[in-house]
Amino acid sequence: MKWDDLRRSGNIEDMRSRGPVRGVGGRGGMRLLFPIAKMLIGTKIGRIVLVVGVVAYFMGFNPLALLETPSAMPQSGHVSAPAADDRAADFVAAVLAQTEDVWNAQFAAAGSAYREPKLVLFRGSVQSACGYADAQVGPFYCPVDQKVYLDLGFFDELSRRHNAPGDFAQAYVIAHEIGHHVQNLVGTLNKSHQAKQMARSNTQANAVQVKVELQADCYAGIWAHYVNAKGTILEPGDIQEALNAASAIGDDTLQKQAQGYVVPDAFTHGSSAERMAWFQRGFTSGQLQACNTGI
């Protein structure tokens, strides 16, 4: 994929450098707390300070953090992101910009406006509007805050663990999550949520979710269709990289790797063959109508 000269999206929220908050905690912090409280409670001003400290604690601030010496705290409050991440982050910004161009044009052609999502880069764990998530969750879209969350470490896992290397394999993953954003904007996610609530079993609910995921694969294919139409971005083998990634993270493939057998009723994303087929359908047609999975 030729992406170096592409524009970069400004809708990136880079949280990779945010380290854990450092403070005095645990048993050591409690040992410090008792003598301090004893000292403060002896005076009127001290009692006021103590009350303020208690209120601050229940509002989420740890007053004991103020006791930490400046030399023990990071100067900026952050830790540096690995240098190896920088090019990957630059790549994500380029791909995200291409999704913005494609979907802005598609929505405009349909007489509506596309609302561009934010993409949050993180390492290790993150707090989203949909709750706490760690790297093991993988890339995900949160419809509550309309943001895509991506730990760049997933790209390493995609290549090494799932044997799906290549920049366009990574681009497919991003385009798939943006596909969920498109579903959110047109009301599909809300419709699927209602359908899952009405499901009589986990099997039925899973079947609905599979349709959601396959449609997102199809939308990723639509994105690839229009990127390919530009004639200057895709390289030979790029589409195969995307198809290989779709196959590598199919439910049947993952289940075989994890437990040695397949349980179709437990599928949530679709089989490898289904994921490849729906991506290919979107790529071939370039039409939203072709992505009707029956949700």
- Contact, 36 vs 54, CB < 8 A? no
Looking at residue 50, what is its pLDDT? 54
Q: Look at residue 59 in the predicted model and tell me its pLDDT.
A: 43
For the ranges 40-49, 100-109, 212-221, the lowest mean pLDDT is seen at: 40-49
Closest CA to 99 of 188, 6, 164, 14: 6
Give the Cα-Cα-Cα angle 53, 125, 220 (nearest 5 degrees). Answer: 140
Phi/psi at 125 (nearest 5 deg)? -155, 165
Distance in angstroms (rounded) separating the CA atoms of residues 52 and 241: 58
- The pLDDT assigned to 200 comes to 94
Chain segment 168-188, per-residue pLDDT in tens:
999 999 999 999 999 999 999
If we measure between CA atoms, which residue out of 92, 88, 102, 124 comes closest to residue 11? 92
So what's the pLDDT on residue 96?
98
Nearest to 20 by CA among 115, 102, 119, 125: 125
pLDDT of 98 strictly over 50: yes
Q: What is the mean pLDDT of residues 8-21?
A: 81
Rounded CA separation 32/80 (Å):
31
CB contact at 8 A, 149 and 128: yes
User: Can you give the pLDDT at residue 85?
Assistant: 82
Q: Please state which of the ranges 55-69, 173-187, 209-223, 268-282 shows the lowest mean pLDDT.
A: 55-69
Q: What's the token pair of residue 105? A: 């044009």
Provide the pLDDT confidence category of residue 51 given band limits of 50, 70 and 90. Answer: low
Q: List, for residues 205-242, the tens digit of each pLDDT value.
A: 999 999 999 999 999 999 999 999 999 999 999 999 99
Which residues is 149 bridged to in the sheet? 120, 140
pLDDT band at 18 (very low <50, low <70, confident <90, very high): confident
Q: In the prediction, which pLDDT does 17 show?
A: 83
What is the pTM (predicted TM-score) of this model? Answer: 0.79
- Report the amino acid identity of residue 265: D
Return all residues near 160 (Cβ < 8 A) that are at least 6 apart.
Answer: none
SS3 119: strand
Q: Is the pLDDT of residue 165 over 70?
A: yes
Q: Considering only 15-24, 158-167, 178-187, 260-269, which range has the smallest mean pLDDT?
A: 15-24
Task: Over range 10-36, report the average pLDDT.
Answer: 56
Tens of pLDDT, residue by residue over 75-94, are 333 445 555 689 999 999 99
Between CA 194 and CA 169 the distance in angstroms is: 32
